[in-house]
Structure 1
């Protein structure tokens, strides 16, 4: 019988907290069980093993990232929307590196429709922002890749200490995103 108060969302939330603090490699059934004060086998009532934990973290992360992007971009357009959404994206990656790594870096399996949908929601929000530039469908794909690569690359360098010079990283990020926007206008 499942422990009272323990459910799928609680188990995934505990795993996501571990992933953010210690990395995805630290997410194991035994580590999550210890965090929740239960034995590892009891987690199987709520998740399908370690893969279920990682999938749950991915779904949670993508859902939270989509909400952050949506909240940042609402009521904005063009450069302003792109800048606000990119800043929210960067803030999410910095605050939740484990959740981000679980779901937003690699494309989900075509067989996993819920994960596909969660990833599509993030891309759909970014695509909506890109409509301001009237890009062709192919150019939109290239622009999506540029945004994701820019935010990912910048935050990866930032969080790993790759920016050792004294200039303000917020200003550097701001300029990066505005350069992307200028490039989109040039298409």
Structure 2
């Protein structure tokens, strides 16, 4: 019998909080049971296993970030929208390292389609409308932006930039300037003449 007050939603939020505190890979059903003061077995009426629990945290994190980004993008376009998206992404990764790590989990297709992952892609496409990029350049640009944001935030979190005195906020700002310039001057496909 499940303990009163324990629900799948509460377990997911508690697991996300635990991930931020101790690291996503340290989130286990046992650790969560200790947090709730119950036996492991009592949680299995809410989650099948640790894998499902981690997937739930990933979906929660994707939804939270999508909500934050949507709020940040309201009424913005072009470079203003690009910077708002990027800054929100970076702030979320800094404030919620465990949740951010969860977002990197490969979700099963049925879970991924039901999650906020699609919203992130759609919002990035909305930013790119301000740059008038057709397909397939738009898909390439989405991959570039997400790779840049993820790479920068991951290296920063790991202390990868500490060996240089240059302020990381300044480098971040210059990175966004460079992305904006590139998006405004996107190179043509191989074999396609400039301006076509």
TM-score when normalising by structure 2: 0.89
Look up the match of 1:42.
42
Task: Determine if contact 1:108/1:119 at 8 Å carries over to the other structure.
Answer: no
Task: Determine if contact 1:19/1:27 at 8 Å carries over to the other structure.
Answer: yes
Look up the match of 1:64.
64
Look up the match of 1:179.
178
Q: Does 1:157 align with 2:160?
A: no
Look up the match of 1:3.
3
Look up the match of 1:112.
111
Look up the match of 1:133.
131
* Aligned-partner Cα distance in 1 for 2:137–2:105: 21
- Give the paired residue count: 185
Change (3 A) 1:55 1:106: closer
Task: Determine if contact 2:24/2:102 at 8 Å carries over to the other structure.
Answer: yes
* Aligned-partner Cα distance in 2 for 1:99–1:106: 10
User: Which structure has the larger Rg over C-alpha atoms?
Assistant: 2
Higher helix share: 1
The list of structure 1 runs, each at least 4 consecutive aligned residues, that deviate by more than 6 angstroms after superposition, is none
SS of residue paired to 2:47: coil
Task: Determine if contact 1:62/1:119 at 8 Å carries over to the other structure.
Answer: yes
TM-score when normalising by structure 1: 0.93
Cα deviation per residue 1:41-78 (whole Å; 9 max; x = unaligned)?
11112112101110110110000010111111111100
Look up the match of 1:29.
29
Look up the match of 1:91.
91
Q: Which runs of 5+ in 1 are unaligned?
A: none
Q: Which runs of 5+ in 2 are unaligned?
A: 187-196
* Aligned-partner Cα distance in 2 for 1:43–1:102: 20
Look up the match of 2:189.
none
SS of residue paired to 1:111: helix
Give the root-mean-square deviation of aligned CA atoms. 1.4
Task: Determine if contact 2:55/2:105 at 8 Å carries over to the other structure.
Answer: no
